[in-house]
Amino acid sequence: MEHWSATTIQAFRQTLLAWYDREGRDLPWRRDQDPYHVWVSEVMLQQTQVNTVIPYYQNFMATFPTVDDLAAADQETLLKAWQGLGYYSRARNLQRAAQQVVQDYHGKWPETAAGLADLTGIGPYTSCAIASIAFGEVVPAVDGNAFRVFSRLLMIEDDIAKPQTRQLFKRIIQPIVDPDRPGAFNQAIMDLGSSYMTSKNPDTAHSPVKDFDASFKADRVLDFPVKTKKPRPKLMPYYAIIVQSPAGYLLTQRTTQEMLSGYWTFPLVTQADLQAEDATEPAGLDADIATLEHRWATEYQVPVKLSPVGGQPVSHTYTHQRWQIKLLTATLVETPPLTFYPGKWVLAEQIADLPLPKVQEKIMARYEKQGHPDVFGVN
């Protein structure tokens, strides 16, 4: 690993910040240093591209202009504003943290990374980003960009997939952070990592800091960062039960014990949930349909005759799971009461008014393509 002298560190700061002042991205959350704006943008940018985030951020700020507005929001409005961004627990954690700021801190934000880390959902990177940008604390914000940029600049061989490596990078970067402009320094690293020093097809030869880049000089740019591969997401076969009655389509709200908590979907059932305890192989489609029809008739008091929808299953990947969803449909002549099933009947044209996860939009789109055009207006 390379070690920089105080002279090199000072030259790097000057070069980096001069480039950032000329070329830094003009993003809506950079118009000021309001901690609320910085925080919301950083949470949205987790696992999501900048260009995708911009309209969501602008809509979110129009809906919840202040931390007090977010703290007081009802769940449906919050989830609707977040719809499409994915990783939905982020939205709920945002509101919990907003409520902490309003109730526990009387509207005054903690001004250090250590204090910000006490808020729900704010981890090591986000706390340092807010503290440096909004409050000028001299701390490095170590995210994927910082891992990539500094591992290449200094040829750091440590595996960034290991939790302890974050602390190593923090110790290495800490003395390099500009003490006068820590927020601009961290944002410059973000911009560098998303432009010249990308994970694939980097343009290191034109990078403003190429003279400081040890991996470029050694022709080893793509060897960094060192990262062991994550295990593949676990395959999770599901059935989506699309039941239509004169009152509309049956939807259910996901519980706090489930993924996508608070969002509305057609009833979803894992194929594993239909297997006998001693079964070693999947029962097959016909047997699963028979089990579902029996369950709905006896447990839910909603007799259905299910038919499979043609085409390939709907596929949707989360961090640790890959859902493959086969669609089953039933049309009822009369609308049964939902005394024993936690759902509600919703007219097709009103479904889009509910907070819906991306996977539900995919299911509706597939349903429309398989012989039910323009039912929901998603295609």
Question: Which residues carry out catalysis?
Answer: 42
**Phi-psi domain of 329 (left: phi exceeds 0; alpha: psi -120 through 50; beta: other):** beta
Pick from 190, 68, 81: nearest CA to 129: 190
Give the pairing type, strands 321-331 and 234-245. Answer: parallel
The upper half-sphere exposure of residue 91, i.e. CA atoms within 13 Å in the direction of its Cβ, equals 26
Q: For residues 186 and 140, is the Cβ–Cβ distance under 8 A?
A: yes
Distance CA 18, CA 28 (A): 21
Both tokens of residue 257?
């014990």
298 contact partners, CB below 8 Å, separation of at least 6: none
Residue positions counted in the chain: 379
H-helix or E-strand spanning residue 187: helix 182-193
Residue written as tokens 């914000």?
141
Rg of the chain on CA atoms, in Å: 25
Please give the sequence-ordered ranges of beta strands (E in DSSP) within the chain, or none if there are none: 234-245, 248-253, 264-265, 268-270, 307-308, 314-317, 321-331, 343-346
Would you call 314 exposed, middle or buried from its count of C-beta atoms within 10 A (0-12, 13-18, 19+)? buried
CB atoms within 10 A of CB 62: 9
Distance CA 158, CA 167 (A): 11
- Cα torsion at 308, 310, 316, 317 (round to 10°)? 90
Pick from 235, 231, 230: nearest CA to 323: 235
- DSSP secondary structure string, 279-321? --S---HHHHHHHHHHHHHHTSS-----EE--SPPEEEE-SSE
